[in-house]
Amino acid sequence: MEALSNQILVAVTFTFLAASVLYLCHWAFKSKVFGWAASGVTWAALGVLTLAIILRWVASHQMGIGHAPFSNLFESLVFFAWTIAAIYLIIELSTWMRTIGSFAVPLAFLSMLYALTLDPAIKPLLPALKSNWLIAHVITCFLGYAGFAVSAALGAMYLATGQAKDPASPRALVLDNLIYQTVVVGFILLTAGIVTGSIWANSAWGTYWSWDPKETWSLITWLVYASLLHSRFMRGWQGKRMAVFSLVGFGCVLFTYFGVNLLLSGLHSYATGK
Amino acid sequence: MSQDQPRKPMAERIWDFFASVKLSFFLLLLLAVLSIAGTLIPQKEGAAAYVRAYGEAGWRFISALGLNDLYHAPWFVLIMALLAANLVICSINRLSLTMRILGKDPVAEAGSMRKPKQSFTLPGEPASNLDKARQVLERLMGNSAQAKDGDRTVLFAQRGGWSRFGVYVVHTSVLVIMVGALVGNFWGYGGYVNIPVGSTVDHIILDNGQAKPLGFSLHLDKFNVAFYPNGMPSEYRSEVTFIDGGKPVQKSTLIVNDPAEYKGIDFYQSSYGNDLKAMEVELIRPDGAKQRLTLEAGKINELPGGAKAAIQGWRERVQMGAMYDGPVARILYQEAKGEPQAYTAFRPGVKMPQSGPMKFEIVKVQTEAYSGLQVKYDPGVWFIWVGCTLMVIGFFIAFYFSHRKVWLRLSPTGQGRTKLEIAGATNKNRQGLARLITRLSHELGGGPKKAE
Residue in A191, A206, A207 closest to B392 by CB: A191
**A145-181 pLDDT, tens digit each:** 989 999 999 999 899 888 888 888 888 888 898 899 9
Q: Per the CB < 8 Å rule, is A200 touching B257?
A: yes
Nearest to B123 by CA among B413, B424, B437, B443: B413
Distance (Å) of CA A106 to CA A25, A44, B10, B16, B389: 13, 15, 56, 47, 35
Tell me the CB-side half-sphere exposure of residue B59, using CA atoms within 13 A: 12
This prediction's pTM: 0.82
This complex has an ipTM of 0.86
Chain B: give the shortest CA distance to residue A169, in Å.
15
B-chain residues within 8 Å CB-CB of A203? Answer: 257-259, 268
Put simply, whether A95 touches B (Cβ < 8 Å) is: no
Averaged pLDDT score across all residues of chain A:
85
pLDDT beyond 80 at A264: no
pLDDT beyond 60 at A266: no
- Per CATH, is A1-125 categorized as 1.20.120? yes
Distance CA A245, CA A259 (A): 19
Are the CB atoms for A88 and A151 separated by under 8 Å? no
Q: Per the CB < 8 Å rule, is B234 touching A226?
A: no
CA angle B335–B339–B341, rounded 5-degree value: 85
Query: In Å, how far from its chain's centre is CA A30?
Result: 27
Sign of CA dihedral A148, A150, A153, A159: negative
Residue in B229, B376, B392 closest to A188 by CB: B392
pLDDT at B4: 53
Distance CA B234, CA A219 (A): 31
Distance CA B171, CA B177 (A): 10
Q: Which residues contact B99 (CB under 8 A, 6 or more apart)?
A: none
Query: Do strands B144-149 and B118-123 pair parallel, antiparallel, or not at all (unpaired)?
Result: unpaired
Q: Per the CB < 8 Å rule, is A205 touching B374?
A: yes
Name which residue leads in pLDDT, A3 or B174: B174
- For the segment A36-41, the average pLDDT, to the nearest whole number, is 87
Task: Spell out the domain ranges in chain A.
Answer: 1-125, 126-274
**What's chain B's length in residues?**
452
Closest residue in B to A260 (Cα–Cα): B39
Chain A: give the shortest CA distance to residue B373, in Å.
10
Are the CB atoms for A182 and A154 separated by under 8 Å? yes
pLDDT at A273: 39
pLDDT at B375: 92
Interface-testing mutation among B255, B256, B391, B426, with chain A (most A C-beta atoms within 10 A): B256
pLDDT at B250: 92
pLDDT at A100: 83
Put simply, whether A202 touches B (Cβ < 8 Å) is: yes
**A59-106 pLDDT, tens digit each:** 887 877 777 788 888 888 899 999 999 989 998 888 888 888 888 899
pLDDT beyond 60 at A224: yes
Are the CB atoms for B138 and B65 separated by under 8 Å? no
pLDDT at A267: 44
Write out the H or E segment, with its range, that includes residue A111: helix A101-116
Name which residue leads in pLDDT, B271 or A190: A190
Tell me the CB-side half-sphere exposure of residue A180, using CA atoms within 13 A: 23
Interface-testing mutation among A223, A253, A261, A262, with chain B (most B C-beta atoms within 10 A): A223
pLDDT beyond 70 at A268: no
Binned at pLDDT 50, 70 and 90, residue A19 comes out as: confident
Beta-sheet strand order (sheet of B324-334)? B301-302, B308-320, B324-334, B341-345
Interface-testing mutation among B20, B399, B450, with chain A (most A C-beta atoms within 10 A): B399
pLDDT at A184: 94
Q: Which residues of B3-25 are buried (b: 16+ CB within 10 A; e: fewer)?
A: eeeeeeeeeeeeeeebbbeebbb
| Low-confidence stretches of chain B (pLDDT beneath 70) | 1-8, 447-452
Chain B: give the shortest CA distance to residue A51, in Å.
27
Binned at pLDDT 50, 70 and 90, residue A253 comes out as: very high
Instruction: Specify the long-range contacts of residues B137-146, CB closer than 8 Å, at least 24 apart.
Output: B137/B406, B137/B408, B137/B440, B140/B406, B140/B436, B140/B439, B140/B440, B140/B443, B141/B404, B141/B406, B143/B106, B144/B106, B145/B106, B145/B107, B145/B109, B145/B110, B146/B107, B146/B110
Distance CA B220, CA B240 (A): 5
Binned at pLDDT 50, 70 and 90, residue A265 comes out as: low
pLDDT at B10: 83
Distance CA A157, CA A160 (A): 5
